[in-house]
Amino acid sequence: MEIKRRDFLKLLSGASGAVALGTYGCSDIIDVPEKLIELAQKGPGIVTWTNTICGQCSAGCGIKIRRIDGIPVYIKGNPTYPVNRGGMCPSGHSSLEVLFNPDRVKEPLKRIGLKESGKWDSISWNDALQLIADKMIELRNVGKPHQVAFLDGSDQPGLMNKHIAQFMKAYGSPNYYQSGQLKNNTAPYRLLQGINQLPSYDLLNSKYILSFGSNFLEEGYSPIYYTKIYSHLRDSSEHGRTRIVQIDSRISLTAANADLWIPIRPGTYGALALGIAFVLIREKLFDDNFIKNYSFGFNDWTDNKGITHLGFRSNVISNYYPEQVSKITGVPAETILKIARDLGNSRSSVVLGDQGTVDNTNGTFSQMAVHSLNALLGNFGKDGGVYFVDLPPLADLPPFDEDEIAALGNSKKPVAQSLDTNYPLADFSIDSFTKNILNDDPYPIDILFLYKGNPLFKTLNHHDFAETLKKIPLVVSFDPFITETSEYADIILPDHTFLEKWDKFCNTPTVGFTHVGIQQPVIEPLFSTRNAADVIIELSNKIDQSVANALPFQSYENEIRFSVEKLYNSGEGAIISEGVKSSWLEYLQQRGWQIGRYNSFDEFWKLLTRNGGWWNPIRQTKDYKELFKTPSGKFEFYSQNFANIINKLIETTGGESPENREKVLHSLNISVRGDKVFLPHYEAVPIEENMPLYFITFKLLTNRDGQSSNQPMMQEMFGYTVREYWNSWVEINPETAQEYGIEDKKDVWIESPIGSIKVRARLNPGIMKEVVAVPFGLGHTSYGRYAKGYGTNPITILKNKYDMINGNPALQATKVKISLAT
C-alpha cells in the first residue's frame, strides 16, 4: 500500500507515548493491539523504566524503556551501560516502530503455492513444529542429519550462537554458520598473531589515530561507543588534542570529523600502509626493541634448511617507496611522508583499518599491511595501542553425549567449506555455500533454518542464492517480518521483537572491555510469536531425547541464568551502576573488594536484570606469549601460519610441484610469488578497464544494514547529510559530473558489467573524482510497506567477487560508467 507521508509526519508532530498509541493505534502507521489502546486510554498512567539491550544491530547498546501502564512508549540510552553510556543511534531510538510495526508476522505461516508467490496460510505452532521435527527425525533416521543447515545472520557474540551450535551438534549437523563477517574478519590476526579475535584500540590514550577506511563513527561494530570516545577526545585539551587522520575514498562521517581526510583510490589501502612502513623503517621511527625481540620475519632470515627468505624490511624498501605507492593509491608522496613522520613521532599512536581496507578482494592482505604498522610501532599491550579483550567468565553450556547418528553427521565436511582451494581462512563463505548446495556437492541440503540477517538482500550473487533457497525442500525462517529471504521460506516461525524477548550479549567486537548485556522483555508478546531460542528447545524435545539432553533448560531465560551464574561466582567485575567506572573497579579489586553487594545468585540476577548488564573494565596485562600464538611465538611479519596453509592446500591438490603451487596461488588471486606471498603486500584488485569509475557503497547510521528500512522514522531521516529521504542517491564529484554533463538532483544511470541502476545524482566535493558511491540499505523488494519499493539496492550491480582468503564480499571491487538518465 502507499504510505501517506502526511499521516506519518502528523504522528511525529503529535503527542508522544500512550496518547499517540491511543490516537494512532489503529492507523496504517503503527499497529497496536486493541487491548493496549484501551489500556493507554483508560489506565492509571503509572510510569516505569526498564533496562534492556537494543537488538537493532550487533552493537548491543544498553537502553532504558519508559513504560506507561506497562506499555513501552519511549526509548533512550542507558547512561550507566558502558558501551554506549546513554548514547543511542536513531534506529534504536525509534525501534518502537518495530514493535508496533503493521507488517509483523503475527503467527506461524505456511507457504501455499510456489516459493516467492507471496501466498501464506496460518498454521498452529504445534503443527508447524511437528512438521519440522518430523522431517528432521526422518533425516536422522536415514543417517543424514548433516543435510540440515542453519544460517544465523545475527553476527552477535552472546548466548544465541552457542545455543544454536549446541542444538546442531546434538542433532548431528556441522552446518551451523554465522553469516556475518565477524569471524572472517579475524583472518589477518590469525596470520600475523595466531589469534582468532579482533583487536581493540586504546583510542582514549592515543595521541594520533590513523584510520585506514575504518568509518568507526558510523559503520563500526559499535558506532555509539566510538562516538562517545570521539567526543571525549574532542573534549579533552589538557594534554594536547588527539589527532585523527582518516584515509577514505569519500568523506565519511568519520572523515568529516577527523583532523585530516586523505582521499585514496579504492582497493589500495594496503599499498599506502606499506608506503608508510617504508618511511618508518628508513627514518628509524619503529620500535627497535619490539622488532628485535618480539617479531619474526622483519629482516631476511634463514630457515633450518639453510634457505634464505625475504624479510618485511627488504620487501618494503624495494617495492613500496612513496613515489611508487603514490602511483598506486593516488595519495601524493609528500602526504605519505608527512603521515608516516607524524605517526612515528606521536607516541602513542595507533593504526586501525576496516571497511575500505577489508571490503575488497585484497582485504586480508591489506589489513595485514595496516596491522603491521602497529607492530612497527610496538603497540601491543601498550597504553594508546592495541589490545585484546578477555572473555567474560560465563558458564559454557553443559556437555552432552553425542549419539552415533550425530557423531556421523558431524564428521561430514561442512557444506559452506570450499571444495577447491578457495577461501582457506573463511569461517563462512556465502559463495561456497551457494555453489555447493546448487551442485548437491558434497551432499544436498534438505532443511535450512534462517535466523536474522536477511542474507538475500545483502548477498552479491543474488540470483544464485535465490536459486539455492528455491532448491532446498524445507526452508524455515524465524523472521518477525517477511523479508526478501523469507519470501523463499516454506514455514515462518515468527520470532519476538527484541523488546519482547530474553537474550544475552557479550563483548561487542572491538569494544575495549569485557561486558555482558541482558536483554529482557519489556512487554508481553503482542502476537502469537515465540523466542527463536525457545523454539529450538521445543524442537530438540520433539526430535530425540539425545538432542533434548543438549539443551536441558525449561526456557531460554533459564539458560541465560545458568550461563551468568558463573559471573556471580567469579567475583570479578561488577554489575553496571552509576559511578562504577573502571578506575573504581580497579581500585577496589586490587584491594580484594567487590563493588556490588549480593548475598545470593538470586540477588545478583535481580540486580543484573534491573541494571541491564555487567562489566569488567580491568585490562589484564598479557604476556607476549598470549598475544602471539604463532609458530615462532612472535608477531610474524612473515606468516608461517599462512605458509603452512598454502603448503597444505598444495598437498591436498596433488602435492608439491611448481605447477601445483602456481595453480593454488592463482586460484587465490595472489599475483606475487616466492616469499612475498607470506608477507603483508599489496595485491591489485582485478578491475574492468573499460569502466572509468570506481563504485563503492557505504552505510549510514540511520539504516546500517538495511534492517531499519521498515521504520518510517529511519526512512524519513535516511540521507540526513544530503537531505535525501525515502530514496537513494549517488555521490559524484562536481568535476566528474561536469565531465558527464550531470547536474545535481538529476537521475543518472549507473552501469556495471552485470547490470544498471537509476539513482539521483548528488554532487559532492567530498568524494574522489574517480569514485561514485551509493548508500546501502534501501531498495527492498519485500520487508513491509515502509521498505518495499523505496530507493535502490547498490549490491545488485556489484560483481560477484570476494576476498579469496577469507571469503568476504568485495564491496569496492566493481567499476562502472555513468550517464544522465533521460
Q: Where are the alpha helices (DSSP H) in 741-822?
A: none
Q: How far apart are CA 725 and CA 713, in angstroms?
A: 10
Residue 12 vs 588, nearer CB to another protein? 588
Q: Considering the complex, what minimum distance in angstroms separates the CB of residue 648 from another protein?
A: 35
Q: Considering the complex, what minimum distance in angstroms separates the CB of residue 82 from another protein?
A: 15
Q: Considering the complex, what minimum distance in angstroms separates the CB of residue 625 from another protein?
A: 18
Residue indicated by cell numbers 507521508: 5
Question: Contact, 488 vs 470, CB < 8 A?
Answer: yes
Q: What is the bridge-based pairing of β-strands 308-309 and 301-302?
A: antiparallel
Which residues in 78-167 belong to E strands, given as ranges?
Answer: 109-111, 120-122, 148-152
If DSSP states are collapsed to H, E and C, what string results for 171-214?
HCCCCEEECCCCCHHHHHHHHHHCCCCCCEECHHHCCEEEEECC
Q: Considering the complex, what minimum distance in angstroms separates the CB of residue 508 from another protein?
A: 24
Residue indicated by cell numbers 598437498: 651
Residue 126 vs 231, nearer CB to another protein? 231
Amino acid letter at 624? Y
Residue 306 vs 592, nearer CB to another protein? 592
Q: Please list, in sequence order, all residues whose beta carbon lies within 8 angstroms of the beta carbon of residue 482, skipping any fewer than 6 positions away.
A: 103, 105, 120, 492, 782, 783, 784
Q: How far apart are CA 662 and CA 677, in angstroms?
A: 12
Q: What is the bridge-based pairing of β-strands 747-752 and 308-309?
A: unpaired
Q: How far apart are CA 435 and CA 439, in angstroms?
A: 6
Q: Considering the complex, what minimum distance in angstroms separates the CB of residue 593 from another protein?
A: 5
Grid cell locating 512: 575495549
Residue 512 vs 807, nearer CB to another protein? 512
Residue 592 vs 655, nearer CB to another protein? 592
Q: What is the bridge-based pairing of β-strands 260-263 and 243-248?
A: parallel
680: left (phi over 0), alpha (psi -120 to 50) or beta: beta
Q: Considering the complex, what minimum distance in angstroms separates the CB of residue 589 from another protein?
A: 8
Q: Considering the complex, what minimum distance in angstroms separates the CB of residue 533 from another protein?
A: 27
267: left (phi over 0), alpha (psi -120 to 50) or beta: left
Q: Please list, in sequence order, all residues whose beta carbon lies within 8 angstroms of the beta carbon of residue 361, skipping any fewer than 6 positions away.
A: 267, 669, 683, 685, 686, 801, 802, 803, 804, 810, 813
Residue 184 vs 616, nearer CB to another protein? 616
Cα 549–chain centre separation: 32
Positions touching another protein (CB under 8 A) are 393, 569-572, 578-579, 581, 583-584, 586-597, 599
Q: Considering the complex, what minimum distance in angstroms separates the CB of residue 169 from another protein?
A: 25
Residue 570 vs 671, nearer CB to another protein? 570
Residue 324 vs 589, nearer CB to another protein? 589
Q: Please list, in sequence order, all residues whose beta carbon lies within 8 angstroms of the beta carbon of residue 106, skipping any fewer than 6 positions away.
A: 494, 526, 527, 528, 529
Local structure of 136: helix, strand or coil = helix
Task: Let me know if 284 is exposed, middle or buried by CB neighbors in 10 A (0-12, 13-18, 19+).
Answer: exposed
Per-residue DSSP letter, 255: H
Q: Considering the complex, what minimum distance in angstroms separates the CB of residue 658 from another protein?
A: 52
Residue 191 vs 575, nearer CB to another protein? 575
Q: How far apart are CA 630 and CA 190, in angstroms?
A: 8
Q: Considering the complex, what minimum distance in angstroms separates the CB of residue 390 from another protein?
A: 12
Q: What are phi and psi of 266, to 5 degrees?
A: -55, 145
Residue 6 vs 591, nearer CB to another protein? 591
Which residues in 647-754 belong to E strands, given as ranges?
Answer: 693-698, 729-732, 747-752
Q: Considering the complex, what minimum distance in angstroms separates the CB of residue 609 from another protein?
A: 19
Q: Considering the complex, what minimum distance in angstroms separates the CB of residue 598 from another protein?
A: 8
Q: How far apart are CA 641 and CA 796, in angstroms?
A: 36
Question: Contact, 482 vs 209, CB < 8 A?
Answer: no
Residue 143 vs 571, nearer CB to another protein? 571
Residue 566 vs 788, nearer CB to another protein? 566
Q: Please list, in sequence order, all residues whose beta carbon lies within 8 angstroms of the beta carbon of residue 1, skipping any fewer than 6 positions away.
A: 28, 785
Question: Contact, 445 vs 414, CB < 8 A?
Answer: no
Q: How far apart are CA 628 and CA 313, in angstroms?
A: 20
Per-residue DSSP letter, 675: G
Q: How far apart are CA 146 and CA 414, in angstroms?
A: 8
Residue 270 vs 612, nearer CB to another protein? 612
Terminal C-alpha separation, the chain: 28
Q: How far apart are CA 718 and CA 562, in angstroms?
A: 41
Residue 304 vs 590, nearer CB to another protein? 590
Q: Please list, in sequence order, all residues whose beta carbon lies within 8 angstroms of the beta carbon of residue 307, skipping any fewer than 6 positions away.
A: none
Q: Considering the complex, what minimum distance in angstroms separates the CB of residue 290 from another protein?
A: 26
Q: Considering the complex, what minimum distance in angstroms separates the CB of residue 384 from another protein?
A: 18
Q: Considering the complex, what minimum distance in angstroms separates the CB of residue 131 from another protein?
A: 45
Residue 594 vs 667, nearer CB to another protein? 594
In Å, how far are 640, 744, 811 from 723, measured between CA atoms? Answer: 50, 13, 25
Q: Considering the complex, what minimum distance in angstroms separates the CB of residue 570 from another protein?
A: 6
Residue 119 vs 241, nearer CB to another protein? 241
Q: Considering the complex, what minimum distance in angstroms separates the CB of residue 392 from another protein?
A: 12
Residue 78 vs 808, nearer CB to another protein? 78
